[in-house]
Amino acid sequence: MFSLLSLLGGWPGQGGASAARLLPTTAGAGNFAVLKALPTQPGQVQPVAPNTLAAPSIPQLKLSPPIPELRKVEYLGNGYIEVAGAVLTLEASDQPRARALAGYAARRVLAAREQLDEVDVSVYDKDSYGGFGGPLPILTASVPRDRLEAFESWAQGRGSYERVWINATSAHPPSRKPDRVRELTVNFLGSLADRAADTVHHTTAQVLGGVQAGLLYHGSARQPLTALTFDDAPHPMYEPLLLDLLRRGETKATFFVIGRNARAYPYFVRDMAEQGHEVANHTYHHVRLPGLSLADATLEMSGANAVLVGITGKPVRYFRPPGGDYTPETLRAAESLGLTTVFWTDDPGDFQNPGDSVLLERYSRNLRRGGIVLLHDNAPEMLQVLPAFLRLASARRIELATVAALVAGPEEGPKHPEARTTPALVPVRVQIPAQSE
């Protein structure tokens, strides 16, 4: 058994829209009383699900003197590196200076906190800003500390810089408001006959494992593999922290990517592919598909495919419907694009802030051969507990791998995973750092 108090430290969490402030009651640490509802804050895109616990705010960096256009700077660490996310909002008259302001802000943020390894900058139109998940930025950039000079040169109009994106008016799927509900259960919606057929497919998958009628519920229990998957990627600030932990743990995963997020942060999608992870489809806007026509559902998937192929140059093979909601039309749309629809066997609820020990206990209880673990790339407690989960899987001689590895089967999958050496990950002790100026 792991001693979480020795492995894990405190972690600043992330509330959702309409979050409630919760405090322990005298009945015990696991019981909470609601004090009052907090108003929705800009940039919060996920409402609080039932049983979600509030967590401390993510620390923010205050600059002195302030930059008027700099709306906020948040920062987090994963026990190894620390990354900041900076948001600038510009009036229309200031937008021609977006590059120069982004360069200036990157330098000021990195100078203000020497522990930072990277700052990710997102520049928005001030009038339409709706936070992450709202209208796309007009410019984004990933600036590791050792690339600051190159980024500043680009910002001043000299040379090129590959970790930047500028919003252009290129064709993309029509705008839709994203659905802001996390994946909780798999829900098939259809006629009585459709549901009966789906039940047969599901039962067959339970017995045989693998892809059945274009659906993947879980893999074969004969192979010591579990697919590790992350939904809703990429998210600025969180993505470099997550990719760093996976690299240190020598673990490959499948990222179900939202097309609009990939479009705004293409360099993180490139990082995924270049580091050996699998990039998969989670629709363009993160919308629930049952309410759309077959044509619109197909457009949501094909739009995400187009963005991902354009970034990685690799075909997209797998798809996960937002919310786990699907219909016969959803499956036909996916099939028409050559996509296998992937579900999950284990959703530990990492976005509900259940606490490190609860989350690790859920990981431990549900870890199985042929399983598919559903996590979220921007859940703070997931980052906190992930190193211990990687060690747990290794101790049980289960290889955490991509969906493609799970589907490949014992003959083509990793050989002799019991002999695989996993490097020891040092204990993660993360504390909320004091704010700096």
Token representation of residue 307: 């963005």
Asked whether the beta carbons of 264 and 234 are under 8 A apart, the reply is no
How many Å separate Cα 390 from the centre of its chain?
17
Distance, in Å, from the CA atom of 393 to the CA atom of 364, rounded to the nearest integer, reads 8
- Strand blocks (E) in 62-186: 70-77, 82-90, 118-125, 139-144, 164-166
Question: Which of 66, 64, 74, 69 has the alpha carbon at shortest distance from 96?
Answer: 69
- Residue 376 annotated in active site: yes
Peptide bond into 266 cis (omega under 30): no
Q: Are 222 and 408 in contact (CB under 8 A)?
A: no
Among residues 218, 277, 282, 376, the one annotated as catalytic is 376
SS3 139: strand
Q: Give the 3-state secondary structure of residue 255.
A: strand
Residue holding tokens 């097309």?
Answer: 259
Contact assessment for residue 372 and residue 227, using Cβ atoms and an 8 Å cutoff: yes
Beta bridge partners of 125: 90
Separation of first and last alpha carbons in the chain:
41
d(C-alpha 106, C-alpha 86), whole Å = 8
Q: Using an 8 Å Cβ cutoff, are 121 and 32 in contact? A: no
Annotation marks residue 282 as catalytic: no
**Residue 255 Ramachandran class (φ > 0 left, ψ -120 to 50 alpha, else beta):** beta
SS3 41: coil
Between 328-336 and 294-312, two packed helices, what is the crossing angle to 10 degrees? Answer: 40
Tokens matching residue 282: 């989670």
Report how far residue 107's alpha carbon sits from residue 425's, in angstroms, rounded to the nearest whole number: 32
Name the burial class of residue 381, with classes exposed (0-12), middle (13-18) and buried (19+) by CB atoms within 10 angstroms of its CB. Answer: buried
Q: 278 in helix, strand or coil?
A: strand
Given 231, 232, 244, 271, the catalytic residue: 231
Phi, psi of 181 (to 5 degrees): -125, 135
Task: List residues with catalytic annotation.
Answer: 231, 376
